[in-house]
Amino acid sequence: MEELDINNVVKKEPIKYVFTNDALAGVVHYYRRNREPYEIVSEMITMFTDFTGEQKRVHNLDYVNDEDIRHANEIRSYYTKKLFLRKLKGEHRVSKFKKSMQDILSRDDRNRVTLEEFKILVKLPWFYHNDKEMDALLETYNCDVENYSQWEEITEVTELRLVKLLYIHNRRMKIVRFMFELGNTGRLAAININSDNPLLGVFIRTIEKEGLTIASGNLTINHILGSDKTYYTLSNWLSV
C-alpha cells in the first residue's frame, strides 16, 4: 500500500455561510423575536437558497431592518472597544473564544461566516445584554476595587437586598446570578445557582418577596479584566 504523504494532503475548507446582509443583524432580528440560540442556528443555517461547488451557502436576510443593524453595530462596537482597552492596558492574555470573537467582529466582510464562527455570533446578544446590565450595576453601586478585600468573612447577621437577577448561559456554565447589596454598604455580592437546580424557582420567589438575611458566609473578590470595578461572590453562606 502506498504510504500517505501528509504534506500533500489538502485541508478541506469549512463551508462558508454567506448571508445577504450582516449575519449579526440577522441574529439580532431573531433575538428580538425571543428565539433561543439553538433555534436561531436552526433557522439561519438550514434555510439556504443556494449551494454551490465553492462550498458556500447563500441565505436570504432581506427581513433584517434598520433597528436590527443599529443594534448589531452597538454590539460590535461594545466588544471591539472592550477588547482594545484590555490590550491598551497591557492585558495580552485573551481566551481562544475572545480572540475568535475579535476576529469576527473586526472583519470587513460581515455577511460571511463559518459554522464555528456562527456559534459565537449567535450568543452575542445575550452576552451583550448581561454585560450592559452588569456595567450599570458596577457604575451605580460602590464597586471601586479599593473598597473590596481579596477575601472577607461574614460573622454577624447581615441583610442582603436583591438588586438584579442575571441569567448567565455560556459554554462553561448555565446559572442564575443573584446580585445583592451587602447590608447598607453599597457594595455588591453575588450568589450563583445552577439553572437546573430544582429549588431555583422557590428560591427566586422567596428572595423577591422576603429578601435574604444571613448569619455567616465567605466573600471572594471577582477580578474583572480591564476594569477598576469589582464585586464579591458569596459562598458557604448560612441564612437566618
pLDDT in tens, 16-27: 788 888 999 999
Q: What is the pLDDT of residue 98?
A: 78
Q: What is the pLDDT of residue 9?
A: 46
Q: What is the pLDDT of residue 97?
A: 78
Q: What is the pLDDT of residue 13?
A: 62
Q: Any idea where the domains of the chain sit in the sequence?
A: 10-122, 139-239
Over the range 168-183, which residues count as b (16 or more CB within 10 Å of their CB) and which as e?
bbeeeeebbbbbbbbe
Closest C-alpha to 75, from 120, 139, 140: 120
Q: What is the pLDDT of residue 182?
A: 95
CATH level 2 (architecture), domain 139-239: Beta Barrel (2.40)
| Backbone Cα Rg of the chain | 22
Q: What is the pLDDT of residue 4?
A: 46
Cβ atoms 20, 111 nearer than 8 A: yes
Cβ atoms 77, 159 nearer than 8 A: no
Instruction: List the Cα angle 107/109/112 in 5-degree steps.
Output: 110
Q: What is the pLDDT of residue 47?
A: 57
Q: What is the pLDDT of residue 206?
A: 92
All residue ranges of the chain with pLDDT < 70 are 1-13, 46-58, 88-94, 170-172, 226
Q: What is the pLDDT of residue 106?
A: 87
Closest C-alpha to 57, from 118, 120, 123, 10: 118
Q: What is the pLDDT of residue 1?
A: 46
